[in-house]
Structure formats: C-alpha cells, structure tokens
Amino acid sequence: MNYTTNPLELKAPIIQSKKVSAWRKELTIPKIIATILLILATIFFIFPFYWVVSGAFKLQTVATTIPPEWFPLKPTLQNWTELFKNPVERWMFNSFIIAFAEMAAICIVSSCAGYVLAKKSFPGRGIIFTLFVAAMALPKQVILVPLFTMLADFGWVNTYKGLILPAIGWPFGVFLMKQFAQTIPGELIEAAKIDGSSEIRLFGTIILPLLKPAVGALAIFTFITSWNDYFSQLIMTRSTSMMTLPLGVATLRGEFTTNYGLLMAGAALASIPMIAIFLMFQKAFTQGITMGAVKG
Amino acid sequence: MMSYLFLLPAFGFFLLFVAYPMVKGVYISFFDYSLRDFSFIGLDNYISLIKDDNFMKSMGNTLLLVLITVPIVIIFSLFVSMNIYKKKEFARSFFRGVFYLPAVSSVVSITVVWGWIYHPNYGILNYLTGLFGMEPVSWLGDTRTALLAIIVVLITTSVGQPIILYVASIGNIPTSYIEAAEIDRATPWQIFRKILWPMLMPTNLYIIVITTINTFQCFALIQLLTSGGPVYSTSTVMYGVYEQAFMLGHFGYASAMGVILAIVIGIISIIQFKYFGSDVEY
C-alpha cells in the first residue's frame, strides 16, 4: 500500500480489504476442507458412543452379524436384565460412595490449605507449597507399588479406607485452590479481622463463599477422576462385592466368547453418569481445567 | 498457629500417601522384595532390568507411543480449536463436549466398544475395510497392527483437555493482532506461524508435558485391550510395573521399573521445558 497518498483516499482500500478478508473467512477451499474434516472427526468421536448405546439394545445374535445392523431393528431389554443379574447395584453404590467421599474430602482439605498458602504468611509456607507443586509435576509411577505394599501392611486392601483415603493426598487440589484464593482481595480479610471474627468463622462465612466457583470446578473434576481411576481400584479390590462399576463391567468380558449386547449395556451404565455430570456442569469443569493450567 | 491447623489435613494426607511412598519406592527398588523375600541387593534390580529384553521392548514401545501420540494430539487439538474458537458459545460447548467424551466416560467403556470395533470376525472396522476389498485383519492380535490400534484409541481419549485449553488460550489472544495481520493480507498459515503459535507457547508447553506424562501412564487401555500382547508388542513400562508387582509379586523389581520410568519422564519433561519454555507472556 502506498502510504504517501492522501489519508482520505485510504478509506476505500481498507473497507475493500475487510470485505475480502470476510469473504475469505467464509468460503475459501481450505475453509471448506477444514469444515469437512471437523465434521468427520466429530462423527469419528461420537460413533463409539452410538455403537455402545445401540449395541446395548441388540440381541447377541444381532450384535455379531456381518454386515452390521446399524440401528437395532428389534430393540430388546434382554441385555439389561442379564446385566442386573450381576451385583450391579453394589458396584454402582461403591463407585458413588468412593467418588463422593473423595470429592468431599479433597474439596475440604484443599480449600483450607489453598487459602492459607495464598493469604497467610508463616514459616515454611514456601517449602510446603514447593513440595506440593513438585509432587504434581513428578510422575506417580514410583508411588504405586510402595503405596500398595504400605496399604497392604495397614490391612486396607479391599476396604473402602484403602480405596478412598490415598486419593485425598492430591496436590493438584491444593494448587488449584491456592491459585484461586490469591484473587481474593486482602481488604476483605482485614475488614473481617477488625470486626473481630475468628479464623474459622472468617473462613466459613467469607472465604469459602468466595471460593465457591473453584470448589465447584474441583468437585466435578475430582468426582470424574475418582470414578475413572481404574488402576487404583483394580489393585485395591479383591472381592466382587468391593468392585466399582467400571471394574465390574470389565469382568463381564468373557475369555473366549463375549456377549457384546451385555457388555455394551454395562459400558453404557458405567459412562452415562459421568457424561451426564460433565454435560450438566461443563462450564464449571472447563473453568477448572483452564484455571489449573494458567501459570501462577 | 491457625495456619498450620488449616494446612495439616492436606499436608498430612500428602506426606503419608504421596511423599512417603515416593521415598519408599526408591528404597525398595534396591531390595529383592517379593512375596517370599526381603533382602538388600543393591543395584541388582537395575542391572537385571537392563538385561531384560521384555523390559527393553516395553521401554521402546512406551517411547514410540509418546513420539507418535503427542504430536498427533497437539496437531489435532490445535486444528479443532482453531476451527471452533470463533463459533457461538453453544457450538463451542458442543464440540468441546464431543471431543471430551472419551476422556470423561470410563476407560472401561471405551475399551469394550473399541474391542468390538476391532474384532477380527464381527468388528465393524473389518467390515468397512472389507468394502474396499481389504482382507480382514486381527487388529489387536497382530504384532504389526496392535500398537497402532492402541494409539488410535489413546489419541481419542487424550485430546479433550488440550482442546479445552487451546480454545480458552486462543480466545485470550487479542483479536486486534489477527485483524491487523488480516488487513496486511497475511495468509492463514502466516497468521498461525507468526502470531498464534508463539503466543500459545505457555499453553503448548503445558499440553505437551501433560500429554507426555499421560501417555507414559497409559495403562487401562493396554490391560483391557491386549494385556501387553501379542508377544510384548503393546507392553509398556507402566504395564510391566503392573505385571511384575501385581501379577508376579516382584515388588522390588517393579519399583525399580517405576524409578527408571520416572527418571525418563523427568528427563523428557526437562527437555520439553528447555525447548518450549521460552518466556513468552501476553
């Protein structure tokens, strides 16, 4: 562009170039290809879920026909009655009780710790926070085996204690709450102190309500993580009655013959609660993920 | 005093269930620790590991898994994010939801349906490839395809979080930068290369590091789809730790594997920090 021209004459080319750019955004070939690829990727990601749900309502004989029946033409509930011949209610109860307990405990301990790490100064604060962050960055592989031998020594294998308590020592929760608590204005805390409120009252009536969005995000995050923590649940359970829903569903796979209808019913049951929770609270969940990734 | 009281529950759980096991893990890697034995053997576990062909194969598979998965996850999530970040809130939630589904639904559900899709006789994949005249393949039972089959599933479960983060980060970049470039008639590729990619550096680093760590820790997919087979072609170090400790009862040996894996992850993370951790701020 020729900058020596009269500024007034510049107007026209700018408007034109904006139009060109808008047009380019809408219709170019790369744009069309990108949209097609996005649609294909979406189908590729949704298909397995469609296949689980439709498979759950197919008879075993139908599930294994080739060419496949794309839609269950004769839907049946047989897989579901078959599924509930297993202790499914017990597995669901275990999954929910473990996830709720971990969620509540992590939210409480993390918000307390996050608050003091963000807003109080005391000897050792820096070291303690560094320890949490370092543990978050370090891989957990080294922990699994010694943690298991330790819990075995405690006699906690195949108990709720063994399934719930180790998960509470989760540095990410503390980190997330500390990041969020830092945004609370110090004046609020000062004002409450001048009014003579005790630390615990201050935390309960002022800090906790302000932390609510972060606690919400952490709660959903913890719940989903706990429900899907397959490895820990696998090594910590021994009896069918202590299994969680995903573990129970995994046992439905036959060694040589597999009843796919039954398996899909189980798979649907194991994921539907989490998908529902995620869709309901997507906003809070998304914020939690983003908050945890932002540098402090 | 009150501060310590607030800190105590979180720190106590952390010390007992994270810090102590970490130290203990290194400690027992120097022992012949099995169901029968507990005796100090120094570096013997590590020496045996180096000579262990299956371990070396698992390490190779693990590195291969990372080398293939991480770049694909980054490219795929960037591609999706660039295409959806400008869309209306409803469409954005829809796409974020679609790509996060595999991560949020139980890994068991993911593996059972993929096990069916890959089935040599009545899997839908062989039906589809058959339409193009291809011979049926035992996707999970063939040493040539098993790892690839795992990688495809692993990628679908890994892209959710990167997409959420990229959409948020791209949304944070001031639109004036991109508009200015568009007025100067920069091509989309130039805009991406000169503006978006450098400004996304902090996000890139975070995503590369967590995707690498998650890939190293990938376990359930392998245990449920192939159990490390056929002939160790899909075994990873993580799966090896499980096999040695929880199936064979070799806790010391498994701990040494865990320590080596942690060191490898540590080195790779440091390299990634050095390479991508340029201090771009905006």
Residue B181's pLDDT band (boundaries 50, 70, 90)? confident
**Within chain A, where are the H helices?**
7-27, 29-56, 60-63, 78-83, 88-119, 125-137, 141-154, 160-168, 171-181, 186-194, 199-202, 208-227, 230-236, 245-251, 260-280, 282-293
- pLDDT interval class at B278 (50, 70, 90): low
* pLDDT, tens digit (0-9, with 9 covering 90-100), for B46-82: 999 999 999 999 999 999 999 999 999 999 999 999 8
pLDDT value of position B20: 94
Displacement of CA A198 from its chain's centroid (Å):
35
User: Which residues from A are below 8 Å from B189, CB to CB?
Assistant: none
Among A10-19, A168-177, B216-225, the least confident range: A10-19
From the CB of residue B101, how many other CB atoms can be counted at a distance below 10 Å?
Answer: 22
Interface contact flag, A139 B121, Cβ < 8 Å:
no
Q: What pLDDT, on a 0 to 100 scale, did the predictor assign at position B243?
A: 94
Give mean pLDDT, residues A180-203.
84
What pLDDT band is residue A9 in, cutting at 50, 70 and 90? very low
Complex-level ipTM: 0.89
Closest C-alpha among B79, B59, B77, B55 to residue B67: B59
Residue A17 has pLDDT above 70, yes or no: no
Asked whether the beta carbons of residue B127 and residue A67 sit closer than 8 angstroms, the reply is yes
A99-144 pLDDT, tens digit each: 999 999 999 999 999 999 998 888 989 999 999 988 887 777 789 8
Residue from the list A148, A169, A231 with its beta carbon closest to the beta carbon of B13 = A169
- Which helix (H) or strand (E) segment holds residue A71: the answer is none
pLDDT band at B256 (very low <50, low <70, confident <90, very high): very high
Give CA–CA dist A55/A238, Å, rounded. Answer: 30
Question: Are residues B117 and A37, on separate chains, in Cβ contact within 8 Å?
Answer: no
pTM of the model: 0.89
CA distance B227 to B146: 11
Average pLDDT over residues B27-34: 93
Residue of chain A whose Cα is closest to the Cα of B245: A145
- B281 pLDDT above the threshold of 50: no
Of B14, B128, B191, which to mutate for an interface test with A (greatest number of A Cβ within 10 Å)?
B14
Q: Which of B59, B104, B250 to mutate to test the interface with A (most CBs of A within 10 A)?
A: B104
Predicted local confidence at residue A296, as pLDDT? 35
Q: Which of A132, A141, A271 sits opposite B262 (nearest CB)?
A: A141
Q: What is the pLDDT of residue B277?
A: 66
Is the per-residue pLDDT at A19 higher than 50? no
Q: Any idea what DSSP says for residue A203?
A: I
| Nearest CA distance, A147 vs chain B (angstrom) | 5
- State the pLDDT confidence band at A81, using cuts at 50, 70 and 90: very high
Window 185-224 of B, Cβ < 8 Å to A = 185, 188, 202-203, 206, 213, 216-217, 219-220, 223-224
Is B19 part of the contact surface with chain A (CB cutoff 8 Å)?
yes
Q: What is the rounded distance in angstroms from the CA atom of residue B217 to the CA atom of residue A141? A: 8
- Regarding predicted confidence, which is higher, B186 or A129? A129
pLDDT above 50: residue A2? no
| B108 with A274: Cβ contact below 8 A | no
For the cut 50, the answer to whether the pLDDT of residue A4 exceeds it is no
Cross-chain Cβ contact A117/B7 below 8 Å: yes
B281 versus B254: which is more confidently predicted?
A: B254
Over 90: is that where the pLDDT of B158 sits? yes
* β-sheet bridge partners, residue B39: B32
> Is pLDDT of A290 > 50?
yes
Query: Which of B27, B115, B188 lies closest to A30 in CB terms?
Result: B188
Give the per-residue pLDDT at B251: 94
The whole-angstrom separation of Cα B168 and Cα B77 is: 12
Q: Which chain A residues contact residue B99 at CB under 8 A?
A: 41, 45
CB atoms within 10 A of CB B126: 21
In whole angstroms, give the CA distance from residue B255 to residue B23. 11
Q: Is the pLDDT of residue A57 over 70?
A: yes
Q: Do B165 and A41 touch (CB under 8 A)?
A: no
Among B199, B239, B195, which residue's Cα sits nearest to residue B221? B239
Q: Which of A252, A215, A251 is nearest to A233 (CA)?
A: A251
A286 contacts B116? CB cut-off 8 A: no
Q: Enter the tokens of residue A23.
A: 């047009």
A145·B216 Cβ contact <8 A: no
| Contact state of A142 with B258 under an 8 Å Cβ cutoff | yes
Taken in order B212, B218, B222, B227, the sign of the CA dihedral is positive
Question: Looking at the predicted structure, is the pLDDT value of residue A5 above 90?
Answer: no
pLDDT digits (tens, 9 = 90+) for A242-278: 999 999 999 998 766 678 899 999 999 999 999 999 9
B91 in reach of chain A (CB within 8 A): no
| C-alpha of B196 from chain center | 24
CA dihedral over B183, B189, B195, B200, signed as positive or negative: positive
Q: Pick the residue of A145, A153, A170 with the most B CBs within 10 A to test the interface with B by mutation.
A: A145
Residue of A nearest to B11 (CA): A169
pLDDT at site A6: 42
pLDDT at position B190: 86
Q: Which pLDDT does position A56 carry in this prediction? A: 93
Output the pLDDT for position B282: 40
Q: What is the largest CA-CA distance in chain B?
A: 74
Residue B164: the pLDDT is 92
Cross-chain residue pair B10–A174, CB shorter than 8 Å: yes
The pLDDT tens digits of the residues spanning B88-102 come to 889 999 999 999 999
Hunting for tokens 């990601």 — which residue is that? A45
